Amino acid sequence: MDSIDREGEAASLEKNLERIKIAVIVGILAVLLIISIGVVGYILIEGMDFLSALYMTAITITTVGFGEVKPLSSAGRIFTIFLILCGTGTFFYFVSIILSIISEGGIFILLDHYRRSRMVKKLDSHIIVCGYGRVGENVCEELTLEGVPFVVIEKNLNRIKLLAKRKIPFISGLAGEETLKAAGIERAKSLILALGDDVDNLFVALTAKELNPNIFVVARLNNPSNEEKFVKIGVDRIVMPYKVGASRMAQCAIRPAVTSLIDVITSKKGLEIFIEEIEIKENSILVGKSIKELDLRRIYNIMVVAVIRGERGLVQVDPDIVLEKGDILIVLGNKDDISNFIDSLK
């Protein structure tokens, strides 16, 4: 029941935003309509020029009490009475809408919405994270630490408030076609599915692949029996948090020093040692060269740990290995040294 209530709250947030936008648009259109009627009416009935007609309309609907531009005819007075009754009510209705929005904090909701929309539209080659639960939150911490641009899709109101507080770009609502498009699925590099339900992750993965067949999808899997379904729809990497957690606990007990070193390297905390992957593009200067020729250890002070070729194929690191298009170099070294090497490839 609690999750249903929270989903309802999230939907209510979206409805509230939509209500504010509609109210403002309707109010503006109503005021513009009355002003147009007033200007046209004074021009036709009293023969006023545009500026005089606009002035008469403005002082009439705002009831400021200024004098008339010229004495009005009987028809002009009747029209003015009509304009006062209709225009004044419309004008003050619009003012009441604005005051209501300000008092309810709606103006901040609107400003925040447009700020986030602009922020998301600027993202390119970013990562979309679906779900900001325990797994999703830790994923976002890692992405923030790495300095990778990302946006979160979340439906839970409490988590949405947390995302807003932490100034993390997000799209509120259920993860589906509409929210994926709003998150820039066509421009995104990867999609991380951290939802707690396998069915939800399957549905979003399928939708994402239809919208962007080239997107790299990493999905959380809770029930091992669903793994085959994930593979069939094209999920690129499947992660089972409980299995990974159990494996790490076992490794900590068996090889504590090795595990600590890997933690330091992968978390980028403490030591200035980093591990990075570099994909070799078709026009890369690395294509056709051997590890020995590159001499990265001497020139850049970095070490090639492995070469990945094809579908998860790990090639033994040999100085005579000739690099090919699509290979992925796994290198280890200082952050600045790795950055210098990557910059040299550009």
Q: Is residue 288 in some structural domain? A: yes
What was the pLDDT predicted at 270?
Answer: 53
- Same domain assignment for residues 135 and 216: yes
What was the pLDDT predicted at 244?
Answer: 81
What was the pLDDT predicted at 308?
Answer: 86
What was the pLDDT predicted at 213?
Answer: 93
- Same domain assignment for residues 7 and 74: yes
- Same domain assignment for residues 95 and 162: no
- Same domain assignment for residues 225 and 147: yes
- Same domain assignment for residues 136 and 184: yes
Q: Which long-range contacts (CB under 8 A, 24 or more apart) does 338-346 make?
A: 338/274, 338/276, 338/300, 338/302, 340/300, 341/278, 341/296, 341/300, 341/302, 342/276, 342/278, 344/300, 345/278, 345/284, 345/285, 345/286
What was the pLDDT predicted at 16?
Answer: 60
Parts of the chain with a pLDDT under 70: 1-20, 65-66, 98, 100-114, 264-272, 311-316
What was the pLDDT predicted at 10?
Answer: 47
Q: Which of 239, 259, 285 is the last residue of a domain?
A: 239
Q: Is residue 178 in some structural domain? A: yes
Q: Is residue 251 in some structural domain? A: no
The overall average pLDDT reported for the chain is 82
Domain of residue 205, CATH code: 3.40.50.720
- Same domain assignment for residues 87 and 133: no
Q: What is the pTM of this model?
A: 0.63
- Same domain assignment for residues 320 and 228: no
What was the pLDDT predicted at 59?
Answer: 86
Four-point Cα dihedral 338, 339, 340, 343, nearest 10: 130
- With CA atoms as reference, report the closest residue to 214 among 188, 237, 232: 188
Q: Which of 214, 239, 264 is the last residue of a domain?
A: 239
- pLDDT (tens digit per residue) in 254-281: 888 877 777 766 665 555 677 888 888 8
Domain of residue 294, CATH code: 3.30.70.1450
What was the pLDDT predicted at 8?
Answer: 46
What was the pLDDT predicted at 127?
Answer: 95
Domain that holds residue 299: 272-345
Q: Is residue 279 in some structural domain? A: yes
Q: Is residue 117 in some structural domain? A: no
Q: Is residue 320 in some structural domain? A: yes
Q: Which of 75, 104, 133 is the last residue of a domain?
A: 104
Q: Which letter does DSSP use for residue 312 in this model? A: S
> Residue 132: enclosing H or E segment and its boundaries?
none
Domain of residue 16, CATH code: 1.10.287.70
- Same domain assignment for residues 14 and 98: yes
- Same domain assignment for residues 233 and 134: yes
**Number of structural domains, the chain?**
3
